[in-house]
């Protein structure tokens, strides 16, 4: 147990780097192969031991990473066993199933990490990853899959030539999404990104080496196992990192445009035109180029559409917030002034009529039961005013417990008085807060444009405000007299 605690990410990585150098320096040597297997097996065992005490949201993702590593290790061991039993293995072995299946599981673990770290959906990151994956998939197909399958019938060997690059593309998508997801990329993130890069480079060299250089020896190809070993040790080192358990904690959403996104999209857009102009490809290559270009265009247009829609939503939210009270959703003072100014350009009949309301009993609720209770009262009164509005009317909150209702089609003084009484009765109903009831009333002042000389929005509000204060003063006098 004490020895396991002493195995830090850096110490395991250092030992793994030494083993990778031995593997690359002495390909084919018996001791080199045993160094590879012992180091790899030890690292996998240490990773699983660390996961026994792992806590936090990242555990499931790192379990998937360790499952992929275990499958690759099992594939290596199985290959050795089958090779001893059957010296002439051929190009397709049972180990290929384990090696191929590891990449999708690893990619799923990385995507799960990115999703848990993000406070929002990863739709934009996935589109960016698929955009770059389209380019990478075409390059793999053009220079790896087509050369391997040229003039050959469908066979297990050809199927493997397709599956290996395909799973590498999945892994590439996962690491792009992880890079572009919110949160710091240091610590375990740096290890994961470096590990994926090494895995992709190692797979690319091992798969394309015999195609590009037909005379290359098996011993030379075996040197690339050192790159793969170092990548695998890096994956396992992320589990041992001191920040691994917190790596999947949600991070704040950063809406700033990551420079890598611009670079990725620029490279993707330039790749196909450059390849079409500089490289002579076969008929199959031309068809794949056209299909990939169409897919790439669709992905970029989808990405552009999402950006535009998000910008439109943001602008709509900002426009709504600019003209509305944050708590109640009613119009605010600037929106009220703008509406009155518009109505006064061509006033209709007796209107517009302004009713200025100040709540009675609100201070007692706010002081006695707290601001949460006071906010509940304000929201309830705002809802009542909204439900009572006629078409064309406007309700606004000026701040505190002061509200304004504007009626634009009042026909006369009697109509305005009826509106005031309707508002008074509407507010007089008790406001319920669980088992409590708050008795709220209103002092209301009213002013009509027809009663003022050359009315403006400010003079209308001032006249209604004065009427409200007069009613409130009369109420206080009446309560004082009743108290005596």
d(CA 337, CA 457): 6
CB 442 within 8 A of CB 401: no
Phi, psi of 348 (to 5 degrees): -110, 120
* Rg of the chain in Å (alpha carbons): 36
284: exposed, middle or buried (C-beta count within 10 Å: 0-12, 13-18, 19+)? middle
**Residues 49, 4: contact at Cβ < 8 Å?**
yes
- Percent composition of the chain: helix, strand, coil (DSSP 3-state, to 5): 70, 10, 20
Q: Which of 76, 225, 358, 401 is catalytic?
A: 401
Contact 331, 395 (CB under 8 A): yes
C-alpha to C-alpha distance for 64 and 70, rounded to whole angstroms: 10
Is 465 assigned a catalytic role?
no
Cα–Cα dist 198/204, whole Å: 10
442 φ/ψ angles, rounded to the nearest 5 degrees? -155, 140
Cis bond upstream, residue 352 (ω within 30): yes
Give the whole-angstrom CA distance, residue 289 versus residue 286. 5
Centre a 10 Å sphere on the Cβ of residue 261 and count the other Cβ atoms it contains: 18
- Please identify every residue annotated as catalytic: 401
């Amino acid at each position: 147990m004490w020895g396991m605690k002493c195995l830090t990410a850096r110490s395991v990585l250092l030992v793994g780097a030494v083993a990778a150098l031995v593997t690359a320096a002495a390909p084919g040597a018996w001791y080199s192969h045993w160094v590879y297997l012992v180091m790899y097996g030890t690292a996998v065992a240490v990773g699983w031991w660390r996961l026994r005490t792992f806590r936090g949201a990242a555990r499931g993702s790192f379990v998937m990473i360790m499952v992929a590593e275990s499958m690759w290790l099992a594939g290596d061991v199985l290959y050795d066993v089958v090779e001893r039993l059957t010296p002439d293995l051929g190009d397709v072995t049972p180990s290929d199933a384990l090696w191929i299946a590891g990449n999708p599981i690893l990619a799923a673990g990385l995507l799960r990490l990115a999703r848990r770290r993000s406070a929002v959906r990863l739709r934009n990151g996935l589109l960016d990853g698929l955009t770059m994956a389209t380019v990478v998939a075409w390059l793999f197909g053009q220079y790896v899959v087509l050369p391997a399958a040229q003039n050959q019938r469908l066979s297990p060997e050809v199927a493997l030539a397709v599956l290996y690059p395909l799973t590498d593309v999945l892994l590439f998508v996962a690491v792009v999404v992880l890079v572009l997801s919110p949160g710091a990329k240091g610590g375990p993130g740096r290890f994961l990104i470096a590990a994926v890069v090494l895995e992709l480079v190692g797979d690319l060299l091992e798969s394309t080496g015999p195609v590009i250089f037909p005379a290359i020896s098996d011993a030379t190809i075996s040197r690339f196992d050192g790159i793969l070993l170092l990548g695998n040790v890096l994956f396992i080192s992320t589990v041992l990192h001191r920040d691994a358990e917190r790596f999947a904690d949600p991070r704040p959403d950063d809406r700033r445009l990551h420079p890598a996104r611009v670079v990725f999209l620029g490279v993707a857009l330039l790749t196909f035109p450059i390849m079409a102009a500089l490289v002579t490809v076969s008929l199959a290559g031309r068809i794949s180029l056209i299909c990939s270009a169409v897919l790439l265009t669709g992905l970029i247009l989808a990405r552009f559409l999402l950006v535009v829609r998000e910008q439109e939503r943001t602008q709509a939210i900002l426009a709504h917030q600019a003209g509305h009270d944050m708590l109640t959703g009613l119009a605010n003072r600037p929106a009220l002034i703008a509406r009155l100014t518009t109505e006064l350009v061509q006033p209709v009949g007796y209107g517009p009529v302004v009713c200025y309301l100040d709540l009675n009993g609100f201070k007692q609720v706010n002081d006695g039961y707290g601001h949460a209770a006071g906010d509940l009262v304000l929201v309830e009164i705002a809802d009542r005013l909204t439900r009572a509005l006629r078409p064309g009317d406007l309700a606004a909150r000026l701040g505190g417990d002061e509200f304004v209702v504007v009626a634009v089609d009042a026909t006369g003084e009697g109509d305005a008085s009826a509106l005031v009484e309707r508002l008074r009765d509407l507010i007089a109903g008790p406001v319920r807060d669980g088992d409590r009831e708050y008795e709220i009333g209103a002092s209301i002042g009213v002013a009509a444009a027809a009663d003022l000389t050359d009315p403006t929005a400010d003079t209308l509000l001032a006249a209604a405000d004065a009427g409200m204060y007069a009613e409130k003063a009369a109420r206080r006098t009446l309560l004082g007299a009743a108290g005596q």
